[in-house]
Amino acid sequence: MEWEVLTSEIMYRCGIFSVRRDASRSVRNGMTHDFHVLETRDWVNLVPITSDHRVVMVRQFRHGIRQLTLEVPAGILDDDDASPAAAAARELREETGYEASTVVALGVVHPNPALFNNRCHIFAAYDVTEVGAPQWDSTEEIGVELAPLGTVPELIRSGAISNALTLVAFQLFDLRAKEGGANMGAGRRP
Residue 188 has a pLDDT of: 44
Q: What is the pLDDT of residues 69-78, one digit of tens each?
A: 999 999 999 9
Residue 179 has a pLDDT of: 87
pLDDT band at 104 (very low <50, low <70, confident <90, very high): very high
- Report angle CA 68, 41, 1 to the nearest 5 degrees: 105
Residue 1 has a pLDDT of: 84
- Return the bridge partners of 67, or none: 62
Q: What is the pLDDT of residues 144-186, one digit of tens each?
A: 999 999 999 999 999 999 999 999 999 999 999 888 855 665 4
pLDDT band at 190 (very low <50, low <70, confident <90, very high): very low
- Structural domains for the chain: 4-39 (no CATH), 43-186 (3.90.79.10)
- Alpha helix locations (H) across the chain? 84-96, 152-158, 164-179
Taking residues 130-157, report their average pLDDT: 92
pTM for the full model? 0.91
- DSSP reduced 3-state for 181: coil
For the chain, the straight-line distance linking the first and the last C-alpha, in angstroms and rounded, comes to 40
Residue 183 has a pLDDT of: 60
